[in-house]
Amino acid sequence: MRAVIQRVKHAKVEVDDQVVGAIDHGLVVLLGIELADTHDDMTWLLKKITQLRIFSDADHVMNNSLLDVKGELLVISQFTLMAATKKGNRPSYIRAAKHDHAIPLYESFIAEAEKILGKKVSTGVFGADMQVTLCNDGPVTLHLDTKNKE
């Protein structure tokens, strides 16, 4: 699994000009799932995301996690994160998981996040053409890949 995490002041995702997910202070997670990903990858990634100390404390030092600040989470599926771009100019998505593998992991990620955070997690619509609007706070943007845990 790969994730691009952005600390935001607010964000929303629209499908067909309708807002389907929106948050205030928190994190936007663009989530890519590949064929080799497992429930263990999902668990590791979610724990890492919710515990990353990327929110400022009273001294303006990034010392607090999403859990500490009681922030919100917006999760958006994004198969293009699995793109292979080494050869040629057309990205290959051969490593991206098909719906039958990706959707259960995506849904588990959201369900587990709701348990950890104790609140609803906003989402996009899996596989839809989405428009994402956000105000990146900092800016703070990180990339995580479960294949690079160590």
DSSP-assigned states of every residue in the chain: -EEEEEEEEEEEEEETTEEEEEESSEEEEEEE-BTT--HHHHHHHHHHHHH---EE-TTS-EEE-HHHHT-EEEEEE-GGGG-B-SSSSS-B-TTBPPHHHHHHHHHHHHHHHHHHHTS--EE--TTS--EEEEEEEEEEEEEEEGGG--
Tens digits of per-residue pLDDT, 36-92? Answer: 999 999 999 999 999 999 999 999 999 999 999 999 999 999 999 999 888 889 998
Confidence band, pLDDT 50/70/90 cuts, at residue 149:
confident
User: Omega before 104 cis (within 30°)?
Assistant: no
The count of structural domains within the chain is 1
CATH number of the domain within which 37 lies: 3.50.80.10
Partners of 19 in the β-ladder: 14
Domain that holds residue 101: 2-148
Report the C-alpha gap between 125 and 123 in whole angstroms.
Answer: 7
pLDDT value, residue 59? 95
What rounded mean pLDDT belongs to the chain? 95
pLDDT value, residue 133? 98
pLDDT value, residue 88? 87
Which residues are marked as active site? 80
Report angle CA 36, 39, 41 to the nearest 5 degrees. Answer: 65
pLDDT value, residue 8? 98
